[in-house]
Chains A and B, each alone.
Chain A
């Protein structure tokens, strides 16, 4: 069964735990025993039971180190399994997004309809970063509809505001708006009769359809061979190159390593211990060359005549956790290796809560910017919208994680 990762964006107080607990209960993804334990836990706290306690009680058990299977919030719905991934902070968000291999990135943006609540600044920043890194499908779940009496007008006001924000940050993926009450389980798995004015599907059905539809999107397929060298593997007195295929297929024949334009002949391709005719995206292979290469780690492999971009200057959209100025000393980490940045020019500042562009001489913390970077040496890369894995990097300021960037 395919497990689909769903990123949960939104503030904790807007009902994330309640929503997850609710989903787990409604999809029968949590046993009665667990529910009983959660009820006991809530009693212990002197509170009346609500779905959030399912996760909270699991967390408590885990503090004692006694739980299995509690690190996942997995729910089965029809023929799919969803894993809900919370991203409480910037680092978790970035980590999660940078690790995603699939391009069917789906997120649920949870916003509270309760007066006085509403989308928080941090959440907006998260949506910005999520969009930057490739979220293409977004479900905006307007929660706590019970606190506004399931009022259609209030709901429309909220969705309009969010829609405006999304267009300001130039989000061009698929958006679906769903009104819910996680606390009461309204419109999560079944249409709610308290919101008869709502014409869409319940949350899980929208999520399901979005996920199913995503894979079939027409992609302008970039199919050139791109592989990155990890290092050497010894086989007797032979040295084979270990590499991961990022894109396209590798087969016997002429290949070229970049930077450096080093030409070689791939005599043998070994996949999981067996010689194969070719290997595709995602595979880790071992390659026997006609001639060794010194220090191959980090080099990019291509087919003859299909060069990547090779340069030490690039233009990038970055998101930074700390203040960035032209005198900041940064080191980028790209394809598993570190490269020092010699010069940094700030072209534009982008406010991540509004999408507004401005000319500033620095990038404020938790904001984005367009930068020109001059690196200490050439790297082989692609634009992010062509090949994500070769167009993104993280950067460090004085050995501390600073943020991420994508090559424009």
Chain B
């Protein structure tokens, strides 16, 4: 199915959100049917808290396809935001 690949990589990211996997994700995103995102913040007091938040990804019909983290762990365990990898998607704008 169209979204198998992106779901696979999303799972990969949940375990290992490093730069290499994010790059894979960005590539696969273009080929997938995902159109929308919604970011869920739990709490955000510092960069580490980013690990508690995530983004839900939806297809053109608004159906939930998968979830991804919104952070990247760089060299030396530094946590950085990674919403840039969702480039190309639109906010679902539904409340």
Direct A–B contact in complex, judged by CB atoms less than 8 Å apart: no
Chain A interface (Cβ < 8 Å from any Cβ of B): none
Chain B interface (Cβ < 8 Å from any Cβ of A): none
